[in-house]
């Protein structure tokens, strides 16, 4: 289904941090649940507080991450985090009730354009298993299998995926 015409992509602000973290929590626990055990989901997205949400937002910025929001009718529909100079997509999350309406596509397109604008033509993503089909649909190929190890030793399996965006010709 195509994205609604009212979809707006804009850079996030600190004041968006709580809504971003809440959407992340919902998306992880609903869309990730068929692919990961409960203890992995709990580490991937622990309960959200304003303090933890703002800390995470600031850490993302300190790491060189640009957070983009997708808003529909003024409400948060999804967000993405891109590290343009590193050519890395660090996050792409859509509200579960708005899945498969092209919001992820719009966010990914905006993040890829940001990377290209920095003269970087290879994009890498550490994709959760539930998101592999999404990235594959946009030309990303699996380059390896990765493991993210949380502090207590819990392991989350991910897929390293890569896309060559070099200009043609």
Positions touching ligand COA (CB under 6 A) are 27, 31-32, 91-94, 99-105, 125, 127-128, 130-131, 133-134, 137
Question: Strand pairing partners for 159?
Answer: 127, 145
Of 51 and 155, CB closest to ligand COA: 155
Report the residue number whose CB is nearest to ligand COA. 104
Of 57 and 134, CB closest to ligand COA: 134
Minimal distance, residue 119 CB to ligand COA, in Å? 24
Give the integer Cα–Cα distance in Å for 108 and 119. 17
Minimal distance, residue 89 CB to ligand COA, in Å? 7
Minimal distance, residue 167 CB to ligand COA, in Å? 24
- Cα dihedral 144/153/79/168 (nearest 10): -10
Minimal distance, residue 169 CB to ligand COA, in Å? 27
Minimal distance, residue 73 CB to ligand COA, in Å? 16
Of 17 and 89, CB closest to ligand COA: 89
Give the integer Cα–Cα distance in Å for 125 and 108. 11
Residues 6+ apart with CB under 8 A from 163: 112, 122, 123, 135, 138, 139, 140, 141
3-state secondary structure 28-66: HHHHCCCCCCHHHHHHHCCCCCHHHHHHHHHHHHHCCCE
Of 119 and 133, CB closest to ligand COA: 133
Of 9 and 94, CB closest to ligand COA: 94
């Amino acid at each position: 289904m195509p994205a609604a015409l009212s979809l707006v992509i804009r850079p996030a602000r600190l004041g968006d941090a709580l809504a971003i973290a809440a959407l992340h929590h919902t998306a992880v626990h609903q869309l990730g649940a068929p692919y990961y055990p409960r203890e992995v989901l709990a580490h991937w997205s622990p309960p959200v507080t304003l303090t933890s949400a703002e800390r995470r937002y600031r850490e993302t910025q300190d790491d060189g991450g640009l957070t983009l929001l997708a808003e529909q009718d003024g409400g948060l529909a999804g967000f993405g985090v891109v590290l343009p100079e590193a050519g890395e997509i660090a996050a792409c999350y859509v509200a579960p009730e708005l899945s498969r309406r092209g919001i992820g596509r719009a966010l990914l397109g905006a993040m890829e354009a940001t990377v290209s604008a920095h003269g970087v033509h290879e994009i890498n993503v550490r994709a959760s298993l539930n998101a592999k089909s999404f990235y594959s649909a946009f030309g990303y190929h699996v380059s390896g299998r990765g493991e993210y190890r949380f502090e207590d030793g819990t392991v989350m399996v991910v897929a390293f995926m890569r896309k060559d965006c070099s200009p043609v010709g």
